[in-house]
Amino acid sequence: MSSNPIRAASNSHMRLRVPAVWFAVLLAASAFPAVVHSQPPPIEPGADFPREDYSVWLVVERGLKDQAADIQLAKAPESPNTVALLLDAYRPGDALAVLRRIVEHRPERMGAAFKAASTNPQRFNDEGRGYVSELREIVLKARQQLRRLPREQAAEAAWYLPFIDFPVQGRTPVPWDDQLRALMAEYGGTQAALRAELTLLDRGRDIRKNIVALEAFARRHAGTAIGAHALHIAASHVAINIPITGAEPPGADPTERLLRVAALARELQSGAYPECEWVRRAPHLVIGFFASEPRYAKENVSRVIAVFREFLLKNFDVSAVNPLASGVGYLITSRLPGIFGAGGDEPVARTDRFLLDLETAVPEPASVRYLRGLWYRQLADAEKDVGAREAWQRKSEATLLDLGRAGSDLYNRKALASLASIEFKERNWRVAVERYREYLSRFPRSEWAWVAGLRMGQSEQLLGRWVEARRAYEFVTSARTALPPALVLGYTFAGRASEALAEFQRARTAYQRAERAWDQRFVAPYFGTYQFFTRLNDELWTGCDPRSKPDVSKEWLRGRSTQLQRSFSLPGGALLERGRFLVTESVWREAIAPLDEFVRLYSDSINAAEARELLTRARLEVALLQAGPEATEEDRRTALAALASLATEPYGFSVFAAKVAHATLLSIIGLPSGGAELMTRALAQWHEHGTRVFAEASATVLETDVMDIRDAVFHPNADWPRQQFRHLGSSDSPPPFFIATPDVRVTLHDDSDVRVRAGLRLSRRPGGLLLNEEQIAVLERILTQLGGTKRQAPQSIMETPNQPVGGVEQIQKFWNRFFTMGPGHWGGWILETFPIVTEVTFIDAARTRGAARIRTGYQGSTQLLTKVGGTWKVTGTSGHWIE
């Protein structure tokens, strides 16, 4: 093997693993060249991804599903499998088209087709696009087709139809029990009728009677899949629902109930029933056994442990997403210690011995060792004693490292990936680089290898080693089978590294390649960007463009390429772009010198105004650094003087932001009246500035439609909803200003995304403050730099998390005198005025039907609109959500 891991990995190429269900579909795709290496044993898709990066896999998975759905739709447009793939890829419109073709031309396939549709019926629930109405038409036609089918086929289709037949508003639906009885009467003797009978048996409120009835049903249908289903439901009630319904009080000894569950699970796997889903899932009945605050009698502990060991040996399946928080991992690390303690053993030591014993007995010992290594790390994180914590950390590292170097199978790869991810999360960049390098050297074709390459690049750049960072990013883009996310993110981050090295032409080339690699199927649907979650605290990524944030937009890539080309067409472009890079990287003090030099040398340049704006921004940030929560009075006086001096610079957003910061700092140090007057003047001036900027703008037909829709749903100062905003600290009366973005993300009828200017009318509304996302981020930085980032821990599970404490609360009250703002539910701040229009969708090509996704407080909905006589009107609401 080459001594250079990056080169070795690049030469070997990364191979793409895809889910087995999609593999046959994707095999024929020209985007995936044939793999010359031997295939490894089948594993679950995404299994190579460590827990910390599993969110990245979910984005990849969705794109792969979309690709597979495209191929399957072209290959088999009347197949039930196509319906399943399309729904899995969040394409209900295409799925409905296939369903309609099946009903009209292949009615014998309706049972399988509606079964596929019933797995994700909620994805049809978008009345704004007319999916619900269309589905009702298809269901009606399907019911008419039932009489043409053999009885068993008709019953199968009839069984699944109610699961996707949405109720009609204003019409009382037929009770579910009545529907079941009707199906049994019409199709008695069929498998569907048996399922209906089984469902009715489980409808009673007395859970113990249900269990008896279900077991009796299973005995009557011994040796059949429906019998296994009944027995599995009964066992599930015994395992989980008895304590939930209160039939077993908290604090009881659940041993006898556990033994009963084990007996039912053994019966399912005894060979008396055919191989089916319910037989395969039998071990999970025991592994997922639930008891409320159990108190096991000492004499029962050995029997309980024996039962758990028996079924762990049958099914030691480690969760890919949360290895220690679900399944066997949760049972062993969270429940068994307490059971061992009830038996008089030391919980941790006895659990450790239990794991070591399992490791010698399960078919895949590496899975137990992997879990054991993660558990040691969990113990370390929970340990308050420094010495004990370090001991557990060493034990975890030794266990995972030995496992990672012991082979090349799944858990060997996961062990090394988890070690690298832990070091990255703990900000041990040098160690993380070595772990990632070793992983790429040994497992260059892993499905996670491209993420490891990006993480290694991030680690290198955080060490200030930009050449090495770029090499890692470019390695990712060099893979023969690189996925679109790997290419887009790899090229973007490589361009960023080139900017750090002042190689701006090379950066522009990288951004252009990233744009060419863009594939809409891998875009995060609610953001329209490529997402790359960092799992790090926000302060490490404080810049205001995608070079410093974990997401990349196509518009930014195109805009940045154009910006670089424009800068280098004029003298001094390298100075300007160097200063811009340092500003976006939050290296404020170093940014001042190149920008100041550009303004001095090229004062007549058409780029001079842009350079002055960036220079003012850098000086604003330096002043903010001086005035933080821990600043002395002298530091704050210095900051005040610096902020006041910026008011004399040519007017632009940074001058406006400096005035806001100045007013805010005055309110903090005890001059609220002076601060309020300055704040009012600053906000009024920005409003007037926006009015002048947009006065010269003209609107296209599309922009006019978007503005009309925004006007229909956005009423910031009318019918003031005091209760809706009170939890964000607002006053009881509307403030004089509101904040909105000048553009809106728009999805056209063909599902293409664009950003549309929609600020012309809002700029003219009294108190309108138009701020783009980057400018809002700067205001948020003022808030946190001056007030701090402390958050209080919630005292109850229902309490809103991440609520701010300290100096930032004072700023929040001050700002709410002028515009509504407050903390986000899961972190960050909300500065835009509600209702925030996050996206507008046009449903038809003529743009007569549309929808606006809005957010109000910690909830939101989709407003349905129709254009009648040239006027957009709200005609309904759907998709209401609450955080």
- Residue 582 has a CB neighbour count (10 Å cut-off) of 23
Average of per-residue pLDDT across 507-528: 90
For the cut 70, the answer to whether the pLDDT of residue 109 exceeds it is: yes
For the cut 90, the answer to whether the pLDDT of residue 703 exceeds it is: yes
Burial class (CB in 10 A: 0-12, 13-18, 19+), 141: middle
Summarize pLDDT for 243-255 with one digit per residue, the tens: 888 788 999 999 9
Please give the residue range of the domain that contains residue 794: 695-831
DSSP secondary structure string for all residues of 669-714: TT-HHHHHHHHHHHHHHHHHHHHHHHHT----HHHHHHHHHHHHH-
pLDDT at 26: 39
pLDDT at 799: 63
The residue written with tokens 């000048």 in the block is: 742
In-domain check, residue 50: no
- Please tell me whether residues 246 and 317 are part of one structural domain: no
In-domain check, residue 27: no
- Rg of the chain's alpha carbons, rounded to an integer? 31
**Where does the pLDDT of residue 35 fall: very low under 50, low under 70, confident under 90, or very high at 90 and above?**
very low
3-state secondary structure 584-616: HCCCHHHHHHHHHHHHHHCCCCCCHHHHHHHHH
854 contacts 835 by C-beta, under 8 angstroms: yes
524 by DSSP, 3-state: which?
A: strand
Q: Residue 785 is encoded by which pair of tokens?
A: 């730099």
- Please tell me whether residues 249 and 302 are part of one structural domain: no
Going by C-beta distance under 8 Å and a sequence separation of 6 or more, which residues neighbour residue 688? none
**Where does the pLDDT of residue 800 fall: very low under 50, low under 70, confident under 90, or very high at 90 and above?**
low
480 contacts 486 by C-beta, under 8 angstroms: no
Summarize pLDDT for 116-150 with one digit per residue, the tens: 999 888 888 876 777 888 999 999 999 999 999 99
Going by C-beta distance under 8 Å and a sequence separation of 6 or more, which residues neighbour residue 524? 59, 530, 531, 551
- Per the structure, the count of domains in the chain is 3
- Please tell me whether residues 254 and 321 are part of one structural domain: no
For the cut 90, the answer to whether the pLDDT of residue 223 exceeds it is: yes
pLDDT at 289: 95
**Where does the pLDDT of residue 24 fall: very low under 50, low under 70, confident under 90, or very high at 90 and above?**
very low
For the cut 80, the answer to whether the pLDDT of residue 579 exceeds it is: yes
- Please tell me whether residues 335 and 264 are part of one structural domain: no
- Please tell me whether residues 734 and 826 are part of one structural domain: yes
Of residues 513 and 29, more confidence is placed in 513
Of 406, 426, 457, the one marking the end of a domain is 406
For the cut 60, the answer to whether the pLDDT of residue 106 exceeds it is: yes
For the cut 90, the answer to whether the pLDDT of residue 882 exceeds it is: no
Burial class (CB in 10 A: 0-12, 13-18, 19+), 203: exposed
Share of the chain above pLDDT 70, in %: 89
pLDDT at 535: 41
Instruction: Say if strands 743-747 and 738-740 run parallel, antiparallel, or are unpaired.
Output: unpaired
Q: Residue 558 is encoded by which pair of tokens?
A: 């195109």
Report the distance separating Cα 706 and Cα 852, nearest Å: 9
pLDDT at 133: 86
In-domain check, residue 654: no
- Please tell me whether residues 352 and 275 are part of one structural domain: no
**Where does the pLDDT of residue 699 fall: very low under 50, low under 70, confident under 90, or very high at 90 and above?**
confident
Summarize pLDDT for 487-509 with one digit per residue, the tens: 999 999 999 999 999 999 999 99
**Where does the pLDDT of residue 672 fall: very low under 50, low under 70, confident under 90, or very high at 90 and above?**
low
Q: Residue 446 is encoded by which pair of tokens?
A: 């892993």
pLDDT at 20: 44
Of residues 36 and 467, more confidence is placed in 467
Q: List the beta bridge partners of residue 837.
A: 854
Average of per-residue pLDDT across 853-877: 90
Cα dihedral sign, 795-798-801-804: negative
155, 178, 182, 225 from 188: Cα distances, Å = 9, 15, 10, 18
Of 286, 311, 326, the one marking the end of a domain is 286
Of residues 168 and 426, more confidence is placed in 426
Summarize pLDDT for 602-645 with one digit per residue, the tens: 999 999 999 999 999 999 999 999 998 888 989 999 999 999 99
- Please tell me whether residues 329 and 231 are part of one structural domain: no
pLDDT at 43: 62
What is the DSSP secondary structure assignment for residue 34, as one 8-state letter?
P
Q: Residue 26 is encoded by which pair of tokens?
A: 């994707």
How does 621-632 read in b/e, with b if 16+ C-beta sit within 10 Å?
bebbebbbeebe
Q: Residue 536 is encoded by which pair of tokens?
A: 């790090």
Q: Residue 852 is encoded by which pair of tokens?
A: 């606006």
Please report, as a single letter, which amino acid is at residue 583: V
Average of per-residue pLDDT across 767-780: 93
Average of per-residue pLDDT across 333-339: 95
Nearest to 46 by CA among 276, 320, 271: 320
648 contacts 613 by C-beta, under 8 angstroms: no
* Weakest-pLDDT range from 158-172, 578-592, 685-699: 158-172
For the cut 60, the answer to whether the pLDDT of residue 171 exceeds it is: yes
Average of per-residue pLDDT across 855-871: 90
- Please tell me whether residues 699 and 824 are part of one structural domain: yes
Of 376, 406, 436, the one marking the end of a domain is 406
- Please tell me whether residues 371 and 392 are part of one structural domain: yes
pLDDT at 794: 66
Cα dihedral sign, 587-588-593-594: positive
Burial class (CB in 10 A: 0-12, 13-18, 19+), 172: exposed
871 by DSSP, 3-state: which?
A: strand
Reported as half-sphere exposure (CB side, CA atoms, 13 A), residue 677 has a value of 3
Report the distance separating Cα 367 and Cα 385, nearest Å: 29
295 contacts 338 by C-beta, under 8 angstroms: no
Of residues 568 and 372, more confidence is placed in 372
pLDDT at 792: 73
In-domain check, residue 827: yes
| Helical H segments across 714-787, by residue range | 722-726, 773-787
pLDDT at 29: 36
Summarize pLDDT for 384-436 with one digit per residue, the tens: 999 999 999 999 999 999 999 999 999 999 999 999 999 998 999 999 999 99
Summarize pLDDT for 51-62 with one digit per residue, the tens: 989 888 988 998
- Please tell me whether residues 818 and 769 are part of one structural domain: yes
In-domain check, residue 858: no
Segment of 541-550, 709-718, 727-736 carrying the highest mean pLDDT: 709-718
- Please tell me whether residues 217 and 270 are part of one structural domain: yes
Instruction: Say if strands 743-747 and 836-842 run parallel, antiparallel, or are unpaired.
Output: parallel
Average of per-residue pLDDT across 704-709: 95
- Please tell me whether residues 253 and 325 are part of one structural domain: no
Summarize pLDDT for 270-287 with one digit per residue, the tens: 999 999 999 999 999 999
Q: Residue 858 is encoded by which pair of tokens?
A: 């910690």
For the cut 60, the answer to whether the pLDDT of residue 22 exceeds it is: no
In-domain check, residue 301: yes
In-domain check, residue 187: no
Report the distance separating Cα 320 and Cα 416, nearest Å: 14
Q: Residue 488 is encoded by which pair of tokens?
A: 């887009």
Share of the chain above pLDDT 90, in %: 69
**Where does the pLDDT of residue 814 fall: very low under 50, low under 70, confident under 90, or very high at 90 and above?**
very high
In-domain check, residue 768: yes
pLDDT at 753: 83
- Residue 364 has a CB neighbour count (10 Å cut-off) of 15
* Weakest-pLDDT range from 84-98, 682-696, 749-763: 749-763
Of residues 173 and 223, more confidence is placed in 223
